[in-house]
Structure 1
Amino acid sequence: MTEPTLVTRTGVSALLRAALPSVPVVGALPGIRKDRDATDGFAVTRPSATVEREQVERYAVLCGFPVKDTVPVTYPHMLAAPLHLAVLSDPRFPSAAMGMVHVENSISQHRPIAIGETLEVTTAVGAPLPHPVGTAWALTTTVSAAGETVWESVSTYLRRGRRNPDATWPDELVDVPPSGPVFALRSDLGRRYAAVSGDYNPIHLTTLSAKALGFPRHIAHGMWTKARCLAALENRLSDAVRIDVAFKKPVFLPSSVAFGSRPAQDGNGYDFSLHRRGSDTLHLLGRTRAL
């Protein structure tokens, strides 16, 4: 794998670059055209980022975390998200970014990250993985402070396509019936989360923009649903913890969702889930385990 590419493009310009490969004719131009035969991985990085209190507090309040001198366990994903978009929109990545689905996310926090720390963030992508309903790619992010790895994540993105009947995919997470709070999600949740995270994917913003991409209504960000579940468990999480989730059905906005959790059978952490209120519709499965 070559040295990581420095990423400076963010916001609307990054989204535009991600969309261009899907545009007829334009998608075939040099510098935009995808290398459909690419199988080697590559890495991208961003300029060093100092954790700012105001930004962290806006994120914490929106996701339901208490305001503290350390960041919520999911917060570093905000720093990694522009790198994910850069990977998916890079010509070296063989599939167009539009239409990719974030199906799984695993976070390993090795210690809490304090307000004011300066972080280095790198994301790498490996070879394509056969999935029963298409092809998947794992994006691995490493966050370090003064040379110490403090946080890592693996985000798995799926491109639906040719089915692979011989492919297997782990399905180890446990469905927990709703037993905790119900979260009422307003129609503007996607826009409010985008303002904090910088993720302005049109499927999250309005019904009109979501319909243009094939959704009946706009949907909540998957990483917001993960964060909101963990905020409900926050005072029971270890400082060093791994959290795995699988995103199932999208959460259409507005809606109400019901949270459920219970201690893991081995006594190490919790299993949790998110369902549509009053329905069997499953939105998210998850688990926490102390490291």
Structure 2
Amino acid sequence: MMKPDSSIRIVDPPPSGVRLLWDGLCSLRKPRLEGPPRLPDEHLVRPAAELASVDIARYARACGFRPEHGVPLSFPHTLAFPLHLLLLTSPTFPWPASGMVHLANRIRQYQRLEPGQALRLEVHCERWVAHPKGQAVLIVTRAKGDGSLAWESESLYLRRGVNAPLGEPWQGVLDLDEAALVRTQRWSLPADLGRRFARVSGDHNPIHTSWLGARLFGFPRAIAHGMWTLGRALAAQQPPRPLEVAQLTCEFKLPIFLPGSATLWNVPPTGTRHEFEVRNLTGDKPHMRGLFIEGERP
């Protein structure tokens, strides 16, 4: 529920990727925070974001979905992501957007999504979350079709190094039976994967798109987008038909460096419950852990 003092801002059309990248660079100059951080109270609304067939097809090719999957469960995140960046680069957000780490994502779909459908997107910062490594913020996205809730997500972003973080302590919710995991796929990730997925997703963070940009933020070379890893793993779980009702929970672990390799591991599925983990080539380090459930109302 929206707080009484919250403000609503209509974003139509969304800013371009170049504009968002520029805003992200400008946000590096935010003044040093004095005192506890204040949670932004602005609600951003995109009144009619189209599930465009051409964009769905480009996203599907980038992540490995097939045409019979219809609208991938993770695709609406690409429509909402520009609004996430607008919140994180806003003067009211206490830290620069660059350097925020995507920790986890939870997605729920309540009805079948159709190509050509228009969704009303509503995005806001829900609450602070205390993390052992710093301050995390939960950004909530709700997508409505014909007035009813069709899809929603919770994205958790972390600012490292913040002392005395606010909010309830964060605890990972995924506890897989590692002894039951079996390697099912091996992936080869090309050096330009970050640039290719940036064009599809709108996430042009330089840690994904250039060696120099990655080095500036402490990485030896570019790293794969977490949401690409999620999409690629989900494509291997999703049945070959459009989804009606489904939910997905994931936690991001270690980055995948580009170029590189990764492996997908699965617990033998139980009914419509699919537990999985993306690991490095040798299988001893985790990159992402996830749970996908189809047909069970969230």
Name structure 2 gaps, 5 residues minimum.
none
TM-score (norm 2): 0.87
Q: Is the 8 A contact 1:193 1:224 kept in 2?
A: yes
Cα displacement (A) at 1:112 = 2.3
Q: Is the 8 A contact 1:124 1:139 kept in 2?
A: yes
Mapped to 1, the partners of 2:134 and 2:145 lie a distance apart of: 37
Amino acid in the other structure paired with 1:107: I
Aligned residue runs from structure 1 range 35-50, under 5 A: 37-39=37-39, 41-50=41-50
Q: Is the 8 A contact 1:112 1:240 kept in 2?
A: yes
Residue number in structure 1 paired with 2:280: 276
Secondary structure of the corresponding residue to residue 172 of structure 2:
coil
Aligned residue runs from structure 1 range 159-238, under 5 A: 159-163=159-163, 168-175=169-176, 176=178, 177-235=181-239
Instruction: Report the aligned-residue RMSD.
Output: 2.5
Residue number in structure 2 paired with 1:17: 23
Residue number in structure 2 paired with 1:244: 249
Cα displacement (A) at 1:69 = 7.5
Q: 1:66 to 1:161 in 2, by over 3 A?
A: same
What do the CA deviations read for 1:196-231 (whole angstroms, capped 9, x no partner)? Answer: 112111000121221122211101100010011110
Cα displacement (A) at 1:39 = 3.3
Residue number in structure 1 paired with 2:71: 71
Q: 1:47 to 1:18 in 2, by over 3 A?
A: farther
Pick the aligned partner of 1:260 from 256, 265, 273.
265
Mapped to 2, the partners of 1:37 and 1:165 lie a distance apart of: 9
Cα displacement (A) at 1:18 = 2.1
Amino acid in the other structure paired with 2:264: F
Cα displacement (A) at 1:168 = 3.6
Q: Is the 8 A contact 1:218 1:253 kept in 2?
A: yes
Q: Is the 8 A contact 1:109 1:151 kept in 2?
A: yes
Amino acid in the other structure paired with 1:171: G
Cα displacement (A) at 1:271 = 1.0
Which of 267-276 and 58-67 deviates more? 267-276
Residue number in structure 2 paired with 1:59: 59
Which of 10-19 and 174-183 deviates more? 174-183
Cα displacement (A) at 1:239 = 2.7
Count of residues in correspondence between the two structures: 284
Secondary structure of the corresponding residue to residue 181 of structure 1:
strand
Which of 7-16 and 240-249 deviates more? 7-16
Mapped to 1, the partners of 2:34 and 2:26 lie a distance apart of: 10
Secondary structure of the corresponding residue to residue 94 of structure 1:
coil
Q: Is the 8 A contact 2:69 2:239 kept in 1?
A: no
Amino acid in the other structure paired with 1:250: P
Aligned residue runs from structure 1 range 45-194, under 5 A: 45-68=45-68, 70-163=70-163, 168-175=169-176, 176=178, 177-194=181-198
Secondary structure of the corresponding residue to residue 143 of structure 2:
strand
Cα displacement (A) at 1:165 = 9.8
Mapped to 2, the partners of 1:231 and 1:149 lie a distance apart of: 24
TM-score (norm 1): 0.89
Cα displacement (A) at 1:260 = 1.1
